[in-house]
Structure 1
Amino acid sequence: MSVETQAVEGIQLSDAAATKVKSLLNQEGRDDLRLRVAVQPGGCSGLRYQLFFDERSLDGDAIADFGGVEVVVDRMSVPYLGGAVIDFVDTIEKQGFTIDNPNATGSCACGDSFS
Protein backbone atom coordinates (compact mmCIF):
# COMPACT_ATOMS: atom_id res chain seq x y z
CA MET A 1 0.00 0.00 0.00
CA SER A 2 1.52 3.33 -0.99
CA VAL A 3 0.69 6.59 0.69
CA GLU A 4 0.81 9.72 -1.42
CA THR A 5 2.31 12.79 0.22
CA GLN A 6 3.06 16.37 -0.75
CA ALA A 7 5.20 19.20 0.63
CA VAL A 8 3.63 21.58 3.14
CA GLU A 9 3.44 24.98 1.49
CA GLY A 10 4.21 27.97 3.64
CA ILE A 11 4.06 26.47 7.13
CA GLN A 12 7.05 27.36 9.31
CA LEU A 13 8.49 25.91 12.50
CA SER A 14 10.58 28.35 14.53
CA ASP A 15 13.98 27.31 15.84
CA ALA A 16 12.60 27.39 19.41
CA ALA A 17 9.71 25.09 18.43
CA ALA A 18 12.03 22.71 16.54
CA THR A 19 14.33 22.51 19.56
CA LYS A 20 11.39 21.75 21.87
CA VAL A 21 9.99 19.11 19.52
CA LYS A 22 13.41 17.42 19.30
CA SER A 23 13.65 17.43 23.09
CA LEU A 24 10.19 15.89 23.47
CA LEU A 25 10.95 13.26 20.82
CA ASN A 26 14.18 12.35 22.62
CA GLN A 27 12.18 11.89 25.83
CA GLU A 28 9.81 9.56 23.97
CA GLY A 29 12.79 7.48 22.83
CA ARG A 30 11.27 6.79 19.42
CA ASP A 31 12.56 7.79 16.02
CA ASP A 32 9.37 6.99 14.07
CA LEU A 33 7.30 9.93 15.35
CA ARG A 34 6.53 13.21 13.59
CA LEU A 35 4.78 16.36 14.74
CA ARG A 36 1.27 16.29 13.29
CA VAL A 37 -0.57 19.61 13.06
CA ALA A 38 -4.28 19.45 12.34
CA VAL A 39 -7.28 21.75 12.24
CA GLN A 40 -10.49 20.28 13.64
CA PRO A 41 -14.02 21.63 14.09
CA GLY A 42 -14.61 22.82 17.65
CA GLY A 43 -13.43 25.35 20.16
CA CYS A 44 -15.16 28.61 20.97
CA SER A 45 -14.32 30.20 17.60
CA GLY A 46 -15.31 27.30 15.33
CA LEU A 47 -11.97 25.62 14.61
CA ARG A 48 -9.18 24.43 16.85
CA TYR A 49 -5.59 23.35 16.40
CA GLN A 50 -4.27 19.95 17.37
CA LEU A 51 -0.56 19.23 17.77
CA PHE A 52 0.53 15.70 18.60
CA PHE A 53 3.14 13.10 17.78
CA ASP A 54 2.08 10.54 15.22
CA GLU A 55 3.75 7.59 13.54
CA ARG A 56 1.03 7.21 10.89
CA SER A 57 1.24 8.25 7.26
CA LEU A 58 -2.13 9.17 5.79
CA ASP A 59 -3.00 9.51 2.12
CA GLY A 60 -2.56 13.14 1.07
CA ASP A 61 -0.39 14.15 4.04
CA ALA A 62 1.81 17.17 3.48
CA ILE A 63 5.26 16.93 5.05
CA ALA A 64 7.92 19.53 5.78
CA ASP A 65 11.33 18.96 7.36
CA PHE A 66 12.81 21.55 9.70
CA GLY A 67 16.32 20.51 10.64
CA GLY A 68 15.38 16.90 11.26
CA VAL A 69 11.92 17.62 12.68
CA GLU A 70 9.19 16.43 10.35
CA VAL A 71 5.91 18.34 10.46
CA VAL A 72 2.93 16.53 8.95
CA VAL A 73 -0.38 18.14 8.00
CA ASP A 74 -3.39 16.18 6.74
CA ARG A 75 -4.83 17.23 3.39
CA MET A 76 -7.98 18.76 4.92
CA SER A 77 -5.93 21.01 7.23
CA VAL A 78 -3.41 22.26 4.64
CA PRO A 79 -5.58 25.14 3.33
CA TYR A 80 -6.04 26.48 6.87
CA LEU A 81 -2.32 26.45 7.71
CA GLY A 82 -0.59 28.05 4.72
CA GLY A 83 1.77 30.72 6.03
CA ALA A 84 1.28 29.71 9.67
CA VAL A 85 4.25 29.93 12.03
CA ILE A 86 4.51 27.43 14.87
CA ASP A 87 6.58 28.74 17.77
CA PHE A 88 7.37 27.69 21.32
CA VAL A 89 7.27 30.25 24.11
CA ASP A 90 8.60 29.82 27.63
CA THR A 91 7.88 32.85 29.78
CA ILE A 92 6.69 33.45 33.30
CA GLU A 93 3.18 33.94 31.93
CA LYS A 94 2.94 31.13 29.43
CA GLN A 95 4.70 28.00 28.26
CA GLY A 96 3.72 26.09 25.16
CA PHE A 97 3.38 26.02 21.44
CA THR A 98 1.74 28.94 19.65
CA ILE A 99 0.48 29.24 16.10
CA ASP A 100 0.50 32.58 14.31
CA ASN A 101 -1.88 31.92 11.43
CA PRO A 102 -2.54 34.59 8.78
CA ASN A 103 -5.60 32.61 7.62
CA ALA A 104 -7.40 33.08 10.94
CA THR A 105 -9.93 35.91 10.79
CA GLY A 106 -10.63 35.77 14.51
CA SER A 107 -9.55 33.89 17.59
CA CYS A 108 -10.55 33.21 21.14
CA ALA A 109 -8.76 34.32 24.29
CA CYS A 110 -7.65 30.72 24.91
CA GLY A 111 -5.46 30.85 21.81
CA ASP A 112 -6.40 27.32 20.79
CA SER A 113 -9.42 28.23 18.70
CA PHE A 114 -9.86 30.36 15.58
CA SER A 115 -12.25 31.15 12.77
Structure 2
Amino acid sequence: MTDTAIATHGVGLTDAAATKVRTLLEQEGRDDLRLRLAVQPGGCSGLIYQLYFDERMLEGDALAEFGEGVEVVVDKMSVPYLDGATIDFEDTIQKQGFTIDNPNAQGSCACGDSFH
Protein backbone atom coordinates (compact mmCIF):
# COMPACT_ATOMS: atom_id res chain seq x y z
CA MET A 1 0.00 0.00 0.00
CA THR A 2 1.39 3.40 -0.96
CA ASP A 3 1.16 6.57 1.07
CA THR A 4 -1.51 8.74 -0.55
CA ALA A 5 -1.27 11.67 1.86
CA ILE A 6 -0.79 14.96 0.06
CA ALA A 7 1.77 17.34 1.54
CA THR A 8 0.89 20.94 2.30
CA HIS A 9 3.01 24.03 1.68
CA GLY A 10 3.56 27.42 3.30
CA VAL A 11 2.47 29.61 0.39
CA GLY A 12 -0.37 32.01 1.15
CA LEU A 13 -2.99 33.52 -1.10
CA THR A 14 -4.61 36.87 -0.32
CA ASP A 15 -8.37 37.29 -0.54
CA ALA A 16 -7.91 39.49 -3.63
CA ALA A 17 -5.84 36.79 -5.37
CA ALA A 18 -8.27 34.02 -4.39
CA THR A 19 -11.18 36.05 -5.77
CA LYS A 20 -9.32 36.64 -9.05
CA VAL A 21 -8.43 32.94 -9.37
CA ARG A 22 -12.07 31.98 -8.75
CA THR A 23 -13.24 34.53 -11.36
CA LEU A 24 -10.76 33.25 -13.96
CA LEU A 25 -11.81 29.64 -13.36
CA GLU A 26 -15.48 30.57 -13.69
CA GLN A 27 -14.74 32.41 -16.96
CA GLU A 28 -12.99 29.31 -18.28
CA GLY A 29 -15.83 27.09 -17.09
CA ARG A 30 -13.31 24.78 -15.42
CA ASP A 31 -13.35 23.29 -11.95
CA ASP A 32 -10.44 20.90 -12.49
CA LEU A 33 -7.64 23.49 -12.54
CA ARG A 34 -5.28 24.54 -9.75
CA LEU A 35 -2.98 27.54 -9.57
CA ARG A 36 0.58 26.18 -9.78
CA LEU A 37 3.50 28.19 -8.40
CA ALA A 38 7.00 26.96 -9.21
CA VAL A 39 10.58 28.16 -9.05
CA GLN A 40 12.91 27.36 -11.95
CA PRO A 41 16.48 28.29 -12.86
CA GLY A 42 16.68 31.33 -15.12
CA GLY A 43 16.45 35.08 -15.27
CA CYS A 44 19.22 37.52 -14.50
CA SER A 45 19.24 36.73 -10.75
CA GLY A 46 19.23 32.93 -10.99
CA LEU A 47 15.63 31.85 -10.26
CA ILE A 48 12.31 32.76 -11.84
CA TYR A 49 8.73 32.25 -10.72
CA GLN A 50 6.22 30.40 -12.83
CA LEU A 51 2.54 30.92 -12.05
CA TYR A 52 -0.07 29.19 -14.19
CA PHE A 53 -3.18 27.03 -14.14
CA ASP A 54 -2.56 23.29 -14.20
CA GLU A 55 -4.88 20.31 -14.25
CA ARG A 56 -2.16 17.86 -13.23
CA MET A 57 -1.06 16.68 -9.81
CA LEU A 58 2.51 15.41 -9.95
CA GLU A 59 4.23 13.06 -7.53
CA GLY A 60 5.44 14.99 -4.51
CA ASP A 61 3.24 18.05 -5.13
CA ALA A 62 2.15 20.03 -2.09
CA LEU A 63 -1.38 21.44 -2.04
CA ALA A 64 -3.28 24.09 -0.09
CA GLU A 65 -6.91 25.14 -0.47
CA PHE A 66 -8.10 28.74 -0.18
CA GLY A 67 -11.86 28.85 -0.03
CA GLU A 68 -14.15 26.85 -2.23
CA GLY A 69 -12.59 25.72 -5.49
CA VAL A 70 -9.29 27.60 -5.18
CA GLU A 71 -6.23 25.40 -4.77
CA VAL A 72 -2.55 26.31 -5.01
CA VAL A 73 -0.10 23.55 -5.84
CA VAL A 74 3.71 23.68 -5.47
CA ASP A 75 6.15 21.00 -6.64
CA LYS A 76 8.35 19.48 -3.95
CA MET A 77 11.57 21.05 -5.30
CA SER A 78 10.05 24.56 -5.11
CA VAL A 79 8.52 24.26 -1.61
CA PRO A 80 11.69 25.30 0.32
CA TYR A 81 12.14 28.39 -1.89
CA LEU A 82 8.52 29.46 -1.42
CA ASP A 83 7.79 28.74 2.25
CA GLY A 84 6.12 31.85 3.69
CA ALA A 85 5.57 33.48 0.29
CA THR A 86 2.28 35.22 -0.48
CA ILE A 87 0.52 35.48 -3.83
CA ASP A 88 -1.47 38.70 -4.23
CA PHE A 89 -3.42 40.30 -7.05
CA GLU A 90 -3.06 44.00 -7.84
CA ASP A 91 -5.54 45.91 -9.93
CA THR A 92 -4.41 49.54 -10.12
CA ILE A 93 -3.73 52.06 -12.86
CA GLN A 94 -0.01 51.30 -12.59
CA LYS A 95 -0.22 47.52 -12.49
CA GLN A 96 -2.61 44.65 -12.97
CA GLY A 97 -1.61 41.11 -12.23
CA PHE A 98 -0.46 38.58 -9.69
CA THR A 99 2.50 39.42 -7.48
CA ILE A 100 4.62 37.20 -5.25
CA ASP A 101 6.03 38.45 -1.96
CA ASN A 102 8.72 35.96 -0.99
CA PRO A 103 10.66 36.42 2.26
CA ASN A 104 13.17 33.78 1.08
CA ALA A 105 14.38 35.93 -1.82
CA GLN A 106 17.67 37.56 -0.83
CA GLY A 107 17.55 39.92 -3.78
CA SER A 108 15.92 40.40 -7.15
CA CYS A 109 16.77 41.88 -10.49
CA ALA A 110 15.67 45.33 -11.62
CA CYS A 111 12.86 43.91 -13.74
CA GLY A 112 11.50 42.02 -10.73
CA ASP A 113 11.02 38.77 -12.64
CA SER A 114 13.84 36.80 -11.02
CA PHE A 115 15.43 36.44 -7.61
CA HIS A 116 18.20 34.72 -5.68
The TM tier, using the shorter chain, reads over 0.9
Residues of 2 paired with 1:2 and 1:16: CA distance?
34
| Alpha-carbon distance, 1:28 to partner | 1.1
Letter in 1 for 2:51: L
Q: How many pairs were matched up?
A: 114
Distance 1:13 1:109 in 2: 24
Shift of 1:108: 1.5
1:45 aligns with 2:48: no
Is the 8 Å Cα contact of residues 4 and 59 (structure 1) preserved in structure 2? no
Letter in 2 for 1:13: L
In the alignment, what sits opposite 1:25? 25
**Structure 1 length as normaliser, TM-score?**
0.93
Q: What TM-score does the superposition give when structure 2 sets the normalisation length? A: 0.92
Give the deviation of 1:4 after TM superposition.
5.6
| Structure 1 residue runs of 4 or more that deviate by more than 6 Å after TM superposition | none
Q: For residues 52 and 4 of structure 1, what CA distance do their matches in structure 2 show?
A: 24
Residue 42 of structure 1 contacts residue 113 of structure 1 at CA under 8 Å; is this kept in 2? yes
The answer for unaligned runs of 5 or more in structure 2 is none
> Aligned partners of 1:95 and 1:22: how far apart in 2?
16
Query: Could you tell me which amino acid in structure 1 is paired with residue 107 of structure 2?
Result: G
Please name the residue that 2:64 is paired with: 64
Q: Take 1:19 and 1:86, find their aligned partners in 2: how far apart are those partners?
A: 12
- What letter matches 2:34 in structure 1? R
1:85 aligns with 2:86: yes
Matched with 2:99 is 98
Counterpart in the other structure of 1:16: 16
Unpaired runs of 5+ residues, structure 1, are: none
Query: Sequence identity of aligned pairs in percent?
Result: 75
Kindly report the root-mean-square deviation, in angstroms, between the aligned alpha carbons of the 2 structures. 1.5
Q: Please say if residues 37 and 72 of structure 1, whose CA atoms lie closer than 8 Å, have aligned partners that are also in contact.
A: yes
Letter in 2 for 1:51: L
Cα distance between partner residues in 1 of 2:66 and 2:89: 14
